[in-house]
Amino acid sequence: MEQLQVAFLGPPASFSHQAALEVFGSSVNLIPQTSFADAFAAVQQQQVDYAIIPVENSTNGVVVQTFDLFADRQGLYKDVKVCGEHYLAVHHCLLIRKDISPLARPDYGSIKKLYTHPQAWGQCDKFLSLYFKGVERQDTSSTSKGAEIVAKKQDEHGAAIASRFAAEYHGVEVAEANIEDDHGNKTRFLIIENTQSDHTNRIASFEEVRSGGTAQAPTLKPARKSLFSFTINQDLPGALADALLVFKAEGFNLTSINSRPSQRGPGQYIFFVECQLDQSIQCDDVVSRVLQSLRAFTVTCRELGTWKDTLQLSG
């Protein structure tokens, strides 16, 4: 079998890297990307078979960069669709250089600056408020980048907030583990593919890839999720409500609704609806019916992918 190419939001040892390893294992070629847009472009241009991108965190909410790319205002990613999801348990650690004497909590006086990704501050607010109130914070492009800064001694009085995976990768010490406010903290990742890729279709479906190349049916048929985007005539009273009733009529359970500016004028939005459908209903047929019905109440509409509900499977 040809080796799969999988993009993740880099650098190495990021939470996206960790999620990619959990989903695809070490037998694929994992390729770091510097931005969300680069990951989408790599899939659209068929430079990779899949990409794994964060879409929401159980503490901080949705990742707007991902929805902005799904909005695809310039039509750059017309062949990109979601084919799977993965929930990653996110545990943050306070990381220091190994040559620093062990710190005795709560005496962290030698630390004058903290480094991490902006998303992590809000996920560790209680710990930071208790032990690092007033300490300078420096945003980094990823939690892994913060660990790298500490490892390379770029700041003699710095510490980072990142994962244990990043600590092991960069060779730094875990001074305090599990400093996140919510120990059930999880980030959901979506796996995207190019629906026109002969290479991916020839190898296997994503669900077969994830199960190790087997296509065995599960004992219990899982629900499936679908993601739709649409715009409405917002001068028409009840247009959004009419669009949402389409999903109810077809037996979908709405699991989330988000919106992003359409950039076509003030008060104009692109709506994203994620919904769940029992496997007993023929999914392809109902998705087609939803799109057909939506066209009566929307200006534009698009199905952005259908996949197995892994949260239900894990529950």
Q: Based on the domain organization, do 135 and 83 belong to the same domain?
A: no
- pLDDT for position 213: 47
Structure confidence by residue, pLDDT tens digits, 55-85: 999 988 999 999 999 999 999 999 999 999 9
Q: Based on the domain organization, do 279 and 234 belong to the same domain?
A: yes
State how far the Cα of 117 lies from the Cα of 163, in Å rounded to an integer: 12
Domain with 141 in it: what CATH number? 3.40.190.10
Confidence class of residue 218 from pLDDT cuts 50, 70 and 90? very low
pTM of the model: 0.88
Boundaries of domain holding 157: 93-176
The answer to whether position 283 is within a domain reads: yes
Structure confidence by residue, pLDDT tens digits, 113-123: 999 999 899 99
- Identify residue 176 by its one-letter amino acid code: E
Q: Based on the domain organization, do 50 and 101 belong to the same domain?
A: no
Q: Based on the domain organization, do 45 and 194 belong to the same domain?
A: yes
Q: Based on the domain organization, do 194 and 85 belong to the same domain?
A: yes
* Nearest alpha carbon to residue 197 among 21, 44, 19, 4: 44
Domain with 275 in it: what CATH number? 3.30.70.260
* Nearest alpha carbon to residue 7 among 52, 41, 67: 52
State how far the Cα of 12 lies from the Cα of 22, in Å rounded to an integer: 14
Q: Based on the domain organization, do 135 and 22 belong to the same domain?
A: no
* Nearest alpha carbon to residue 186 among 86, 273, 255, 116: 86
Q: Based on the domain organization, do 259 and 300 belong to the same domain?
A: yes
Q: Based on the domain organization, do 73 and 117 belong to the same domain?
A: no
Q: Based on the domain organization, do 168 and 196 belong to the same domain?
A: no
Which residue spans within the chain are E strands per DSSP? Answer: 5-9, 29-33, 50-57, 61-62, 80-89, 93-96, 113-116, 136-139, 158-162, 173-176, 186-194, 224-231, 253-261, 269-277, 300-308
The answer to whether position 23 is within a domain reads: yes
**Omega within 30 of 0 (cis) for the link into 11:** yes
The answer to whether position 215 is within a domain reads: no
How many CB atoms lie under 10 A from the CB of residue 135?
15
The total of structural domains in the chain comes to 3
